[in-house]
Every structure is written in C-alpha cells, then in structure tokens.
Structure 1
Amino acid sequence: MALTRAGVAAEFGGWPFLDPGFRSRRLLAAAACVRWARQHTATPTRPTPAQLSTVLGPGEAARIRRLDLHLDLPADPLTLYQQAQADDAMTGLAAAFPDWAPLLALPIRFLRLDDDHALSASAFAIPQHVYLADPAFADTATLDEQLVHELCHQWLYLVEELHPLHHPGCQRRLTLPSGTPNRSVAEVLGALHVAVTVHRLWQERLNDDPRRPTRLTQLNAYAAGCTALLTVAADCLTPDGRDLAHRLQQHADQP
C-alpha cells in the first residue's frame, strides 16, 4: 500500500537521518496503519491507539511482514554484556546527535549474528530486527558505526512500506562498490544513505579515533561509487527514490 497524496519529503518533512525536521512519529503512525490494514484485510476494523502501538513492536512487525515475505536469518540472543553494550551505545549516540534521538528510539530487537563475513545485518523481510556479529563489539567506534548503519536501513524499510523507492517489478541487479553482488536499485540507494550518515558519525563524533581520516576517505569513495550506480539506474527509481538520491548526492558533495 502506498500513500499517493504527497511524496516522502512533503509528507514527513524530509528524510530520516538527513533532515532535523523529519517527522518520525508521523511515519510510524502511517506505517502502523498500513500494517494493521494488512493484518485485517478479511475483517477491516478501526484500530485503537494501543493496537497501532502493538504493530510497531519488533515481534508483531516481523509476524505481519511474514504474511507477504518469508526469510529466516539464523541468530541467537545477544549475551547480557553485548545487550548492555548495545544499549549504552544507543544512549550515547542519541545524546551526541539529538536530531537522531527519535530515530534511535525505534523499538529494535538485537540478535547475535553468526557470520564470518559481516559485522551486522538487517533485512526488509524482518523489520525492526538488527543482527550483530561478535566483531561488531570490538570497540566503541565499530559498534557505533554498525548501529547507525542498521538503523539507517530500518528507517528506509519503514519508508518503503508506504512509498517504494524503485519501480515495483524492477529486476535490475547491481554490484555495490564493496563487491557485494545482486543488489536491487533500492538497496544501492540504502547503501548510499548509510555512507552519508556514517560519514557524519565519523566527522562529528569519532574525531579522536586514529582511523578517522582513512574511514572518511573510504566512505567518500563508497558514496561516489553508489552515486555512479544510481546514475546508470536512474530510470528504475520512483520520484521518491530520485528525490532521495538527489538529497544524498547533495550531502555527499559537502566537504
């Protein structure tokens, strides 16, 4: 189901992690209504505020998504210490970036990822679930980056529940600048969104880390690679997708 009255920027005051005026609660309310309607297609009912709140919980969100998409990503619970580290990191990020605080407050279920090739993961098919591998907890900067990375994905997933970013049925697949193959155009857009947002993290918060200059250079190169891919695949983007690509390019071009 897509809202057609206005695009994302007009409807919600911008884009998550890019615009301080982004109306996150408005997006959550709209997503809750869509989820409720999907859950009650056979017997439409008017939901109460409490019922809408329920469908914004990670467990119920994933259950409703499984009505359309089914994906199993094997994972275990975090250790108690890892959960405490994640909670502390989220609190620190919200304090450092007040405009991000409402976005970081999204209900998330953190799980332990058993993967030798990734530090973290999330998927549109499993909303509000973030998977963290043990190496993600190696140090504060690494954990901060992975959390911001995955929260970026989670918020674009919420947007995509309402407004697709590439045309439905688009079969074009691209290889990310990292070498990861078989990604949709919307996933490339998501990767650029992450690169721009994580760049701000390193620019403003992690400025005492000796890896900062190298990481900023890497992120700039990655953003340029994503932009080049999106330029080639621009015909696959919806008007909202093109708007987000343009906004991200503006941010990526800033010194």
Structure 2
Amino acid sequence: MSNGVLELINGVPFLDDSFAPGHLVTAVIAVRQNHAARAGLPNVADPSLWLTPDRACLVRFDATEVPSIPLTRDEDRKVSDALGRLEQAVPAWTPLLSSLPMRYARIASGASLSASSFWWPQHILLGAETLASDLEMREHVLHEHCHQWLYLIEELWDIDRPRAPTFTLPSGTSNRSPREVIGAAHVAAVLIRLYRALNEKHQIEPLKQYGQGCIKLLESQAAQYLTPVGTQITRRIKEEL
C-alpha cells in the first residue's frame, strides 16, 4: 500500500479489513465541529452528534435534499434483513454497516434502483424494484454504503480537482465526475468480494469487466484530474480488479 492518506486510515473501506473506520469518523467529527463553529452554530454536548444525518446535512452548507418518501415498517425491516445478510456474508464489514448513522428512504420518482449524494450525506434512497427483491436489496444497500464511506473520505480530502470534466461510465451513464468514476469502480470491486464470499461466481466476470473499464477511464482520460488521494484510491481498487 502506498504511503499517504490510505496509510492514515489503514486502507479502503470494504476492500481492506485493516481499514480503521474509527480513525476516519473521528476526523470527520472534528471537521464538522470546525465547520459548525465557523458558521456560528450552537455547540453540542456530545461531539458524536455530528454523525447524525441531520447534523451532517447542517454543516454541508450547500446541501441539496434528494426528494424521498419515508419507508414503511415492512420496508425498514427489509433494510435490516439486508444488512444482516451482508454482515453474515463478510463479518469484517459489520462496523462499516452499523457504525455510521444512516437514514433510509424510498426514491420519490423515477426508475432508479438506489441513489445517494455527497450533497445529502448519510441518506440512502432505495427504488421500488429494489425494495421488492431481497437480492437487489443486498446488492444496493451495500452499493450505497460504499458511496457513503467514500463521501466521508471526500469530506477530508479532495479526490478529484475542481472543474474537472465529466465522463461516461462503461455502462453508458454519462456526466460522471472523476470521483464518481472512482465510486463506480469501488462498488464493482466490493461487489466482487461479496460474490466471492457467497460463491456466486457467475456474478464476478461482468463486475470485473465493468470495474476494469472504470479504471481504464481513470488512468487514461481522467488521470490528470485526480488528486494524489484519488490516484491512491484508484490504484488500490485496481489491485482488487
């Protein structure tokens, strides 16, 4: 592993069992407290309160709410069941799936399977098709948790450069920033790890091709727009693909 940021946090979330979520979370709390103080927001008695979704959005000063619908009790149970299945499949992921407070909701409109945004932190939105399928729930809950942990890293360190152009993912999805391409590659590598743990080998090759396509894009067209941290993360993901 290269020296630098990944050494400070002991790797990349969901890929490295050595990854230290507590190190990252402690630093994020400190940064959020600093943002709050600069904005004149009231102090909180317990600094860990800055990990709640509401307070996370409060100090994301250009936060943009994603329209959503609250989950029903049955849908909440489906989320809990999916998290339990993921923890059972890869026990090392348990701290990553349980230690960061998250708010789940249903996507308000459209056909997306799931969604999240750096600009609306610690909110995971699930589509109707996902909520109707245990298999889709397992995959997309993990998918969005991957994004949420990368968003925490991005709170501390830029992974792409300002005003970078956008790119088209191997899937054909367009208008994606370099950091979003990194996020797509990260999800592919993590899902490969899941399917290896479940011995579902037929799932692996398409994900590998997709992830390698993202890496190729990052190393060629997007390379000059990555920060050193973005390059470190890209190289680590490439090792898994």
Structure 2-normalised TM-score? 0.92
Structure 2 residue matching 1:188: 3-state secondary structure: helix
The residue number in structure 2 matching 1:29 is: 26
Letter in 1 for 2:223: A
Distance 2:151 2:59 in 1: 14
Deviation digits for residues 1-54 of structure 1 (CA, Å, limit 9, x no counterpart): xxxxx8321211111111111110110010011011101115599x77x53211
Structure 1 residue matching 2:84: 3-state secondary structure: helix
Deviation at 1:240, TM superposition (A): 1.2
Q: Does 1:54 align with 2:29?
A: no
Q: Does 1:101 align with 2:94?
A: yes
Residues 146, 186 of structure 2: 8 Å contact kept: yes
Structure 2 residue matching 1:127: 3-state secondary structure: coil
Letter in 2 for 1:224: Q
Distance 2:16 2:218 in 1: 21
Distance 2:71 2:186 in 1: 27
Distance 2:39 2:181 in 1: 36
Equivalence map 1:234-253=2 (5 Å): 234-252=223-241
RMSD: 1.8
Q: Does 1:133 align with 2:127?
A: yes
Distance 1:92 1:224 in 2: 27
Structure 1 residue matching 2:176: 3-state secondary structure: coil
Residues 32, 56 of structure 1: 8 Å contact kept: yes
Residues 141, 206 of structure 1: 8 Å contact kept: no
Q: Structure 1: give runs of 5+ residues left out of the alignment.
A: 1-5
Residues 37, 44 of structure 1: 8 Å contact kept: no
Structure 2 residue matching 1:110: 3-state secondary structure: strand
Range with bigger deviation, 189-198 or 169-178:
169-178
The residue number in structure 2 matching 1:226 is: 214
From 186, 191, 213, give the equivalent of 2:184: 191
Query: Moved runs in structure 1, 4+ residues, more than 6 A?
Result: none
Structure 1-normalised TM-score? 0.87
The residue number in structure 2 matching 1:117 is: 111
Structure 2 residue matching 1:131: 3-state secondary structure: strand
The residue number in structure 1 matching 2:38 is: 41
Residues 79, 137 of structure 2: 8 Å contact kept: yes
Residue identity over aligned pairs, in percent, reads 38
Deviation at 1:139, TM superposition (A): 2.5
CA distance 1:203–1:33, shift in 2 (3 Å)? same
Residues 152, 194 of structure 1: 8 Å contact kept: yes
Deviation at 1:241, TM superposition (A): 0.9
Structure 2 residue matching 1:9: 3-state secondary structure: helix
Q: Structure 2: give runs of 5+ residues left out of the alignment.
A: none
CA distance 1:43–1:77, shift in 2 (3 Å)? closer
Distance 1:42 1:89 in 2: 38
